[in-house]
Structure 1
Amino acid sequence: MKNIKYSDYSLEDFLQDDYFIDWVMNPSPESNYFWENWMAKHPGNSKIAYLAKEMIGGLEYKNSVLPTHNEKVEVLENIIKRSSSKNVGSKLNKVLKIAAVVAILIGFLYLFNSGTYRKTKDLAVAPPTIMLSKQTSYGEQKTVKLPDGTIVRLNYGSRLIFPSEFGDSSRQVTLSGEAFFDVKPNPDKPFIITTKDVQTIVLGTSFNINAYSDEDEIQVMVVTGKVRVQNGADADKLEDVMLLPYEMVSLHRLTGRVVKEKYDPSEYLAWKEWTLIFRKATFDEIIDKLEKWYGVDIQIDQDLHIQGRFNGEFHNQSLEYVLKGLSFSNRINFELKDKTVTISKNENI
């Protein structure tokens, strides 16, 4: 689609735009996603776009930001004023389009003022959508079932925000942290996951997203189906990456570097089976992971300096078991009390 600044559009522009009219009259998953995403990002312009949609479709749009009756009358007056000031020598099709706009507006305002339309409007109003939130603390995992039947497994320290009911054209949720999604297939309603830096769009598949706010990278890993990942919040600057099964994409937050590659699900998705894996991890990385995995505070003696990188795999093991493994190979002592761990150098070895 050509690059158009819809944020500069007037009501007449929307009513004459072929792509907008085609969306209203013949919506598709792609056009639904584009326009709903655009309106969400441009709330100041969405009022005019919603009104144009009403006029083209002949329906009252169910949204709290719809223009009032007085605003509609004002828009009509402005259109008539601007239309009358145009060059008399304009092309015929331009005149016909403006006349059609005025006719639609007059008819719409007539219906708006009729008792029959008010009754239809009252019947069409739906209760407001309620946004729900599910989250996990460190040391916790949780399974969430969404309104459409999609199953989401949240890893520790994660949060998922979703509506009590999805809309008619798309399913949108927001994630902070890490989660595995098993999306209920629906080719007419794309499933969209928004994190701070990327959007992930699917129809029906299973995949993992790792997007902790305190980590430098965001990772999306596909298990089944096909996923589209978009880098960036500005719809005019999106960079699409398509992923197939056992492919992943990593986005470095600071540099913007994007890497697409194959991955080993037994390593990256082991957390779903309560398996903790370290691959060439530094001691600091291990400590950070243990704090989040077990929900504890680990205090390290300032005289303790451990170099090198370590490998390890622990399936559903206690924190004490993991710490004993570290102590054997790194000459350290540890003391575990409630939710606090103290690690110091072992002077006897």
Structure 2
Amino acid sequence: MTEKYQTYTLADFIQDDAFIQWAKSPDAAGDAFWEQIAALYPHQKDVITQARQTVLNLAELSRPAFDEDEAGLIWAQISGQMDDAPVSEPVFRLGWLRYAAAAVVVLLTAWGIRHWYREPQTLYAQRTEQLENLHEEINETGKEKTVQLPDGSRVTLAQGSRMSFFESMDGSKREVYLAGEAFFDVKRNPSKPFFVYAGELTTRVLGTSFTVRSFEKENVASVQVRTGSVSVEARAPRKTQSVVLAPNQQVSFFRKEERLSMGLVKAPQPVIAQADLARFTFNNAPVSTIFDSLGKAYGIEIVYDKEAVAACRLTSSVQEESLFEILGVICEAIEADYQVTGAKIRISDPHCN
């Protein structure tokens, strides 16, 4: 499968879908694959480096907002890379350069700008077509579909989604490729990290439960954490960003802006047993104690002014109310407001009689 890259020219690389995707949005799997190619064919190392930069320049040239001077500068960089590209037989250099230049023109005119901004579904196809021994699950049942992975992890695949994974997970890491939405309940194995590749997002865990959503027609991709901690990396043409999420936290990646935004999930769930939460009863307790207890129960930092609530006391109990319903009742009692700011909850303007 890799033999074709032995004789690839720069023009071949910049027309190869798998190479284009890796050049624009590199990930761990792509890095490993192209490092292997460079190791197998050392004479291609410089060509790969220059082809990657050419792809990035073309992507920059094809973005909507650029002026003529900027376009000219980028085109000059592309031309310079073609001039400097190593060739096996110098006697054919002139013809090769003409071919490369023609290939670039074809790329921009025939495929157009959209070719350089691949949709997540296409990213999924490009990644998986390079790999062997993959098993694919497609959910077209009209309802959620539960899939058990070779390592014992369980995945709930949403309608209209698909995922691929290796038939055996005996390697140093466990990898899943996703297009769409799925909830993962990952079996803990510290020696084998678990990776989910979904569009521009790479999610890495050891053992936890979380949801990944990355549909091709949606501008926003997201990861929501139910239990444990999760590392999420977003790789886009112009920058790479990463965050670490705790329970009840989520991160959204806005594709057009290439921006990550971190916050709380819409309906936080307790990180302790629901039965333990139901036993929360406060009898004339300081409000500060209630806030601290709720924060620990949900794994969320609740920020408040301790001096401002020093005189506030409440009698209350927790039944089946949601966190925000509980906070609403408390804030109404002490005439305060609460606001979600990023991954924290802030209490403001309390008034205690």
Report the TM-score, using the length of structure 2 for normalisation: 0.41
Which one has a bigger Cα radius of gyration?
A: 1
